[in-house]
Amino acid sequence: MLSFGEFRRELATTLRRVQQPGAQPVFVGTDHKPEAVVMSVARYRELVEAHERREDIAEALASVRAEGLEPSYEDLVLFEEVAAGRMTTRQARRHLLERYRVAPPTGDLDICLIDEPPIPAGVPARPCRVDHQRSEPLHPPIHRHVINLDTAFSQ
């Protein structure tokens, strides 16, 4: 820590010293009580960005918790990496998407989520009563696969 007198006398030297890569801030004060800090603009910007990242992460976590959810331990570690500046938000997003992406096994490349519907021979002609079974042929027959007669309720 420098006194104000020392700081005035060594101003040029102090400014060069704080501009060096990895330089620590210089404290200035009286009676061993710091009253001012001198640091490079680059270091100041790093501190402001780190503070903003931490505030953004805290706000995001508060929003998640307000919805009644609790992030997993892995998610909290990931958020801490972003807040500390060791990972960008883009990298964190990619990491999360990779973690939750589920790919089918390589041997099952023909997996489908929906089965092809059965091809009916006819559709109900008109509603008459609940268990009416009379039907008429579909026209044109090329669109028969669109109608599914296996419904949940009796028709």
How do residues 101-144 score in pLDDT, each as one tens digit? 766 555 555 555 555 555 555 555 555 555 545 555 545 555 55
Residues paired with residue 123 on neighbouring β-strands, in sequence order: 136
Q: Determine what percent of the chain is predicted with pLDDT higher than 90.
A: 1
Provide the residue ranges of all domains of the chain, joining segments of one domain with +.
Answer: 2-39, 43-100, 111-149
Tokens of 7: 């700081």
pTM (2 decimals)? 0.51
The pairing of beta strand 2-3 with beta strand 26-30: parallel
Contacts of 26 (CB under 8 A, 6+ apart): 1, 2, 7, 14, 17, 18, 37, 38, 39
pLDDT at 83 over 80: yes
Secondary-structure class of domain 43-100 per CATH? mainly alpha
User: Alpha-carbon distance 45 to 38, whole Å?
Assistant: 13
Q: How far is CA 126 from CA 123, 131, 135, 143, in A?
A: 9, 12, 8, 19
- Calculate mean pLDDT across residues 76-100: 85
Q: Which of 39-48, 60-69, 105-114 has the lowest mean pLDDT?
A: 105-114
Q: What's the chain's average pLDDT?
A: 75
**CB contact set of 79 (below 8 Å; sequence gap of 6+):** 57, 60, 61, 71, 92
Please report which confidence band the pLDDT of residue 149 belongs to, taking 50, 70 and 90 as the band edges. Answer: low
pLDDT band at residue 89 using 50, 70 and 90 as cut-offs: confident
More confident site: 125 or 83? 83
The more confident residue out of 144 and 68 is 68
